[in-house]
Amino acid sequence: MSKKGVLIGTGIAVAGVAAGVAVSHMITKGLVKFAIERDMPKSLEKQRPKLTQGDRVKAFQECITETGKALLEKDIEKVEIRSRDGLRLVGHWYPCENAKRVIIAMHGWRSAWYMDFGMIADFWHNEGCSILFAEQRAQNNSEGEYMTFGYMERYDCLDWIYWVNERTESQYSIYLAGVSMGASTVLMTAGFPLPSNVRGVMADCGFTCAYDEWRHVVKNNMKLSYGLRGYMIDRSCQKKLHVSSKDITTLTAMKYSQIPILFIHGTDDKFVPVRMTYENYHACTSPKELLIIPGAIHGESYFIEKEKYEAVTRSFWSKYE
């Protein structure tokens, strides 16, 4: 090949690499927006159900829709607080006559309070629970530009605890409950010194840290490499959230938790793998219990093992109140 031909070939190769880098950068930028920004990129909107639901059965989705609609129709008071960084956070207060306890419920990533807790709300309420359904920052009606996968949401959860104690004059036991990112939020909250009437945490399918969760989704659900892309994602995370994705973790909180924790997860969860709950469980130094539901996908444990889920929950309350 002539010198001119070599130069042309080299130029084409360099251009190809540059184009590949540019495309990879665009994909990574879109993934970051998809993960943490309030507004979901339109190009990725169709991907969300595939990432979170796996082979979700139709009956499960129908139940979420029906029970969520029923919860919205109940007589529930809309309430608000200000976060410590100045955001207006919205909650929904569902009091119970002759209440025995209060549950503060934190929903998951790109979800909603009535969707994640529509199925279980009647059980909680019939068991004597007043419930505060929080709307997580940067989702639905709560203000905020970024979801932080529990890093700032843990402070929001702490502020909701103070709100409940002010509202109820601290006369009830409080339990923190969460699903998916909401589970990781309440697990991270457990690492704080908490008021003495906070008696336990119920964490359903929570992840260990943002880095591990993002890597799992990108590699296993989206079938993309995570080496250089992971570095780029973390750099973007640090720029936007001022914290590394590796530092957004439940594992540190588990070393400091002083309240009992009930860990729940389904074995067939393709979005947050069950191994993460095992990691959280083994890292936890406070009293702990583990409920693993065979065959359940992400957030489906209550749907397919309702009686067992309720029995374990009742037992958990009776032990620690």
Q: In this structure, is residue 230 part of a structural domain?
A: no
- Number of structural domains in the chain: 1
Quote the tokens at residue 140.
Answer: 């639905």
pLDDT at 63 (0 to 100): 96
Which of 305, 306, 282 is CA-nearest to residue 295?
305
- Cα three-residue angle 104-106-108, rounded to 5 degrees: 165
Residue 46: per-residue pLDDT: 62
Report the distance separating Cα 289 and Cα 281, nearest Å.
Answer: 8
Question: Tell me: the pLDDT tens digits for 29-52?
Answer: 888 898 999 987 665 566 555 555
Nearest residue to 320 (alpha-carbon basis) of 160, 201, 183, 195: 201
Q: Is 284 part of a structural domain of the chain?
A: yes
- State the sign of the Cα–Cα–Cα–Cα dihedral 212, 38, 193, 90: negative
Q: Point out the residues of the chain with pLDDT beneath 50.
A: 6-24, 55
Residue 296 belongs to a domain with what CATH number? 3.40.50.1820
> Is the residue at 298 inside a domain?
yes
pLDDT of residue 17: 34
Which pLDDT score is estimated for 20? Answer: 37
Q: pLDDT digit string (tens) for 113-158?
A: 999 999 999 999 999 999 999 999 999 999 999 999 999 999 999 9
Do strands 88-94 and 288-293 pair parallel, antiparallel, or not at all (unpaired)? unpaired
pTM to 2 decimal places: 0.90
Does some domain include residue 10?
Answer: no
Question: Does a structural domain hold residue 37?
Answer: no
Predicted local confidence at residue 42, as pLDDT: 64
CA–CA separation, 247 vs 255, rounded Å? 14
Q: Is there a domain that residue 92 lies in? A: yes
94 part of a folded domain: yes
Between CA 64 and CA 303 the distance in angstroms is 9
The answer to the question of residue 150 being in a domain is: yes
Domain of 164? Answer: 44-209+248-320
